[in-house]
Chains A and B, each alone.
Chain A
Amino acid sequence: MSLLQIEKMTHYFGGLRAVHNYELAIEPGQVRGLIGPNGAGKTTIFNLITGIYQPTEGKILLDGTELNGRSPHVIASLGIGRTFQNMLLWRHMTVLEHVKMARYSKLTYGLAGAFFGTARRHQQEAESEQIAFRLLKMLGVEQFADQIVLNLSYGAQRRVEMARALAMEPKVLFLDEPTAGMNPEELLQMMDIIRQIHGELGMAIFLIEHRMRVVMELCQKIQTLVFGEVIAEGTPEEIQNNPKVIDAYLGKEIVE
């Protein structure tokens, strides 16, 4: 049994078939890529797995636990951390508060701790602060800890969002176009960061990318999605040389 396994997942938005018979099996520690042109249904697949949408058909299993029908926060606390394509941050909160918030489901001090500030609360809050600082340092943004997140540069915000997802200690980390809107230099840095977190923390990573080069370098196995269907799956070399992929995708859009 794989860590994350998806069987014959299909989803309709009204009459539009956004995802069709999607299958996936991620092993622990694996780095997987999902590529495809705009509107292919990549983000929809993330949203289906994380419980934002319910699939019309199909089964999703994480470590043997069925995820279908569970609410997003439960799925998240079962071990799926994610970032969003358009970065969803909390505009009035500081960087440190962002990262600490992702420890929410791990807090056990309850209402007594929240209302009366028990010793247990202070201990748990201190512990999650420590974890948060470690992650912020790892991503090179610890100097912004007390700043409101909106005051940060775009690249730094992306890192904060990633640190936040890591604070959940996920079994699989979902990254939705983490290099979107970045210049070549920032792109290289982001790739280094992804390599580094995979090296140090070792969780499985599921990566949506637009730019071929990123997935080719980072991923062990890649799927190509077109109009909601997987047209090819394999190692970077296999994908690069697959005539269907070249026809549908590589030849036209991205020659970077």
Chain B
Amino acid sequence: MEATSDKLSIDRRQLLSGLRVAASRVPLLAWFLGALAAVTLEQFVGNPLAWGIGLPKVPVLFGFVIMLKKPLLIPSIALYIMLIYLLPVAVVARLSTAAMNRLAAKLLDYKMFLSVILHLLLFYAVLHIWAEMSDYRVLVLKLMLIAVMLTLSLNIINGYMGEFSCSHPGFMALGAYGASVFTVWLFTDDRLFGAALLPPAMGPFFFPIALLIGGLVAAVGALAVAIPSFRTRGDYLAIISLAFMFIVKSLIENLEVVGGPRGLGSQPDWANLPVVFATTVICIWIINNFVRSTMGKALNAVRDNEMAADAMTVDTRKTKILAFLFGAFWAGVAGGLFAHVLRYVNPGTFGIQKLAELLAMVYFGGLNSVYGSIVGACGISLLGEALRPLELYKWIIIPLLLILVMIFRPTGLIAFKEFDVKKLIQPKKMAD
């Protein structure tokens, strides 16, 4: 009896390790191809299949929401996930592995840039087709990408630099209002600023400028936090930055020009999925470039031992202020996108709850890590959406999870790991 169960568990372990070995040979291109197959399949047979196995409609976020509402449907959901997602991904990835490995190798030899573009296009296609099934998916995806930008930019300050900043919602608000005022004033007829000054058709070309303005407004605001905080050694940043967040919020509440507490609406509809995706990619690319340079690593030196950093010629004060403004800039850009995705913002959005959410994403995902920020932002966003039916209990489950992560992995899930694009897209070793 015991022997058989032992044998069984050994078999299962072998199966698992076999699967892991098989998966480790699949290049990213093949995974994307598999995902593309899965989402295309869903386009065509998702609805009839859902109907056939007794689901009210296509499970919009992998069925988490339905599972919580109607536990009886769990087997059907599992079947749907299996047939639509897991099976096609596994089969296509497996079948295309050899060819894709060859393609990845050839591309990398030829030009890495080309390989990166191909990967991004394929990845975008997967997201686009998946999101096409419902407006809700589009919205969740956009907010998730914006969350990635926010988390990553906060990680620069709280992770790479090791300070504790609370002003990110404030920077986001500055970016949101900065960008919105620019677009609403110039390109739309609205009750606050009157008729459009420029033809709306020119608008989309000006959107990058609007986002840039949002980022710059946030960076200027960040100067007000950075100068007093980094003047001397000591921990004033947490308090000053928290105060800053509240000041920005009440400042906007009292500014009738931008709508005060009622908020600011009627932003033009320019933040579509490709724009949000492209901005996020650019943000990740630039931040990753920065943190991998010696200039960016100076942040780690300042964090781990400031006196040694100084003695090794690092201008610690400049480094800190610069990184702080850099983080704020991207929070501002993300805020500008956020305002144009929702096409309405009010100051209440940028308060302590937003701060808690962002901090959770950073510390859950992992300090000092681009991977960590991506995982943290996507994980907490998805969890937040999935647990929506639980309403208030959501705010018990997410903090509980955070506490568990903090106990077992104090620096977060994927901390201190370099995001090496080349490693990511290179072909994987085939069986010998």
Contacts and interface: CB of A to CB of B under 8 A. Distances in A.
Answer yes or no: do A and B interact.
yes
A50 B310 CA distance: 10
* Interface of B: prevailing SS: helix
A128 B308 contact: no
B20 to A, nearest CB: 25
A92 interface: yes
A50 to B, nearest CB: 6
Interface stretch (A70-78, A133-141, A219-227): A70-78
A143 to B, nearest CB: 20
Nearest to B313: A105
Interface in B90-148: none
Given A93-B297, A128-B294, A82 B289 contact: no
B232 interface: no
Contact of B297 (A72, A81, A84, A97): A97
B300 A92 contact: yes
Contacts of B290: 114-115
Contacts of B155: none
A103 B322 CA distance: 19
A12 interface: no
Contacts of B309: 73, 90, 101
Contacts of B293: 109, 113-114, 117, 121, 125
A73 B289 contact: no
Contacts of A125: 293-294
B298 interface: yes
A107 interface: yes
A81 B296 CA distance: 22
B346 interface: no
A71 B307 CA distance: 11
Contacts of B368: 92
B67 interface: no
A208 to B, nearest CB: 15
B216 to A, nearest CB: 14
Interface in A141-171: 164-165, 168
B316 interface: yes
B295 A88 contact: no
Contacts of A107: 294-295
List the 9 closest pairs (A to B, CB-CB), nearest first.
A90-B304, A105-B313, A88-B308, A72-B310, A77-B313, A102-B312, A114-B295, A76-B313, A114-B293
11 contacts: A73-B311, A90-B301, A93-B297, A101-B301, A103-B294, A104-B294, A104-B312, A111-B295, A113-B293, A114-B290, A114-B295
